[in-house]
Structure 1
């Protein structure tokens, strides 16, 4: 049930009771009226209008702007008709207007429907009408107008706060429901799909041949699915075997808005998670690692190039480790493998032969975004590539 619904029900009862109260005041003092027939005509219209429009004040959907305008016009008309119906002595002595406190119901409808700003607008019109009806400012008039104005604005503000709280609560309930559904799906996936993929990997490795390749793919998909279930970080991806190069190729489908340099910072973890697999271990912080979109993409591409070198030069059985460090002034990603290492002078020789994998795919990418790439390799002890991107990489990228 809506938080404001009880207010609408209270307003419905208030309009009926105050209409009866205004009629009772007239009946008790009808002999003192200069033109009682004017008051009788107005109260007839007021009674019909109040009873006929009860469904209109049953909720925010039915209480339209047109209804609020006509309802306030009925109240203002009653205030101004008081000079024509009542005696001048009663008006000067502070006698009530024809609608009396029924007018506050019209103002409260504005407050509940539109908040405190609508309430202030309606209260201002009521105050002007009361001053015109009295012909001058008086203490009673100012007191009554201020009372209605403050009460309606306060109620309008409370309604706005209640609506904001209701939206926050609804969002929290949606998140809780989504979390519970995610946990249920994670349990189902763990009990079925992940176990099947693990079994295919074990059986394929044991059988060898083409079954071993199938088991390898199943192991890759198991790791990716576990990452998705655990943190929801891996975007949509697909895996295929590049038979020409003998390497595992993973294509990650990224949103189009990543190409926009003005986009919000990108969590680097979402781009590195697809690289994790049976032979690649990814260690990352538990919190997001934000970087400018282009810097995050180029850094992830450099990591991919480093892993390609591991597969190409360290052999199919080599393992690799990716370590992500989120420092205050920079983001550091280290890629290490347990391969045979790179002989001294081999990188310079490869660059001279036109093989620019490390020079362009790794160092070139980092240089374009204002970062650095350091390669350390000891023959027989593997290779380590340290990629460092400063926090201001976004500004340098835009300048370039």
Structure 2
């Protein structure tokens, strides 16, 4: 059976770029690719200066593979797919080029003494490792690749540097790459925590929506049972004449139709109804009652509400009038006042100066007050308040929206309040 959805939450400031693992990885990947291209351009003077001392085949292959890997990383960071694959590819290409550097130098004894041009991309390689690998593999790469560079730097092919210079270059790369790895790891864990929290919140919200739909369905069925089915059964039990039996049969057919419509159709939750339309329907229902009921409308022209709310307010108001006719007595004053509210809501008051009743004495199995009025309004996001004193009449106030932070009132709350007042008196 279809049921209306939960009330729409109040509008607020929308979070346009929430933290997530995908966004963090994409942002870091774009930064690494952008800095990689910038560092490669920075290495061009050293690269061109060392071209004559390196094997041409190696030189062309190393430059081509490095450029291709950087462009691959940049493309995937923009596209959002294959980021880790591109990062791992760059790490692998860089490691192979670095390890094979001593083999590519034509004359190691007369090689340039400055750093190989690959040194400019060492930090980029460690940053790519943090993106592509897990934390343990990234740390191993962070420590191993600068160490390999330091060893190569000590060889003639690497410029025959001093131990201190090689160590400083290596430690600088480890520190800078370590900072990048730590920052990215923290962001990654934070983003994963946010993703888990969001998944949990969505799961709980979905569960709450299902519970609300089930409760709304129950209230709808209970209201139909009370308004149509039980009334039909009572009429059938008292149908001693052919006319009464025919009326009971007609009521039974109508009740079956109500149940069938409730199963087959669902109200359009997005449709809006003007307050004047609701007021007109309530006034027409009051005019059709067996006893006169005065109707007064105040400032409802600018109010509006969802269709499900309009139906709930109308049905609860009709049930309130029916209850007054059934229990308040014959020749008593009855009225309905419909007001528009400043918050674009509506307030309907159904009152009489009849017999009244004791709220605390109403049993829970009586559905007229609890389901057809209180729960029906609560399910639609409204609130029903009932004031009644034996011998002094009854007043039912329907308000939408609720406007309270305590949520939908339960019938037990009204009973407890009535007991408290009775004790004070």
TM-score of the superposition, structure 2-length normalised?
0.40
Task: Using CA pairs under 8 Å that are at least 6 residues apart, name the structure with larger relative contact order, 1 or 2.
Answer: 2
TM-score of the superposition, structure 1-length normalised?
0.42
